Structure 1
Amino acid sequence: MSDAPTVTVDHEGAVAVIRYTNAPSGLISNKGAALLADRIGHELEREATRCVVLTGGDEGVFIRHADVSQIRRAGDAVASGAIRPEDFAASPFARIGHMLDASEKPVIAAIKGVCMGGGLEIALACTLRIAASSPNYSIGLPEIRLGIFPGAGGIARLARLIGAHRARRFALEGAIVNARAAAELGLIDELAADPVGRAIDLATIFAGRHPAAVAAIMELAAAEDDDSAIERSMIRFGELVGGSREIRHRLSAFAKGSRPLEDMD
């Protein structure tokens, strides 16, 4: 599947609205993640930007999930010795997560469509998540259905929100839920008919606060105890896909097929 992602930004006063687009698939690869990381990093460093809204530019999609064919190729590269499992901890996905975790500026994910796998892992790293109240669409971490697990820190970040026990069960089940169920679980902070508009409204409020006070709140509320767990999960992910030919075969079969991930069991 061709990967031609674009990342655009619009400024509404002190609020930057970043849109990730990769039609028609809605997937995110290392290339797309690198583009997104560069734009997020630029806006977090830009003095005039006080708050960021991150959303999808494709109709009905936030980010569908990571590019499974690329994960399979990365597993082949580990198996051949071309890369190491430790290299996963320095990927563009890791960079996005670390930037969002350390950000002194709020970043709000405005989810207006499908958000699974690597897409949800990125949303979980944001400060808040506002999701469309309708129509029905999928939110989840279905990786275990392919024999892998959320490898970009999603389990640790989910545990911050809903507790370790519920996060573990969610990942073990490969759960896929609708937005209302996600809000009931605590994955989503708020439902809105227009999640981008609501996110911009909240971002405008945050942007109007004193930046030093906002930075202090962001720093003091940041998790301090799971950075090593997030890095370890990325390395374990590299070990898993590199060490199992069976898993790489499953990933390859899925990437070549037409069956959506949410239909797999």
Structure 2
Amino acid sequence: MVYSLITRRRFQQMDVLEGLNVLITISGKKNKLRLYYLSWLRNKILHNDPDVEKRQGWISVGDLEGCVHYKVVKYERIKFLVIALKSSVEVYAWAPKPYHKFMAFKSFNAVPNKPLSVDLTVEEGQRLKVIYSSVIGFHAIDVDSGTVYDLYLPTYIQGNIRSHAIIILPNTDGMELLVCYEDEGIYIDTYGRITKENVLQWGEMPASVAYLQSNQVMGWGDKAIELRSAETGNLEGVFMHKKAQKLKFLCERNDKVFFASVQSGGSSQIYFMTLRQNMLFNW
């Protein structure tokens, strides 16, 4: 069954946070950040709770407009929301009841190089650093001091680069990263030092790259979907398309990865893959 829940609104990014009873989204003509309550969305299907139906189904996160990208980061009992806007980066933290919403924590205005994607790492359990990408490379912001510095700039590439993903590698105390751009990925630490000689090299230019809970990186190319080890960059699985198409990662839920075709005119199809033992099924 397919149910209509929210109409006449374009969505750029969304994540389900079941423990907080919210769906977080970038949506609308002004790319605002909104939280929709899952109980309200569920009641639009079941219609079994009049009290929920009377409540407003969503709230805005601050007064933020022009949101480009966000990332929810859990650290111990705190949930941070780091947000890239047109020329700034915002960090919010979840405030439990009675507030039950994300509240402003840190703001970094007029950051150099327009942020395109963003993440947050906690170095050695104590230092917060924002990591963000731009058209010239990857950068970091020390949250305490507000200092901004370059992490990795692939100066050998002429013109703008296309960044795909910032991956904070597990079991490194939040200190090591895999940054993916163009058709490769480089291993660096949070100070910009190269940590591994090997480079993750895709077989073709991916349209989208995502890190999976299995500690693997998936890349969606026009001709094939590649699954590679996040630790080594080695190829661990490949699935060839029946026809060339551009695909975009949406989310990972349980053992399934969901993605969409990117087509002109605004229409698209949703696909999923089931991941088991480094094999790809149910395409």
Normalized against structure 1, the TM-score is what?
Answer: 0.25
Higher-Rg member (1/2): 2
Normalized against structure 2, the TM-score is what?
Answer: 0.24
Higher RCO structure (Cα 8 Å, ≥6 apart): 1
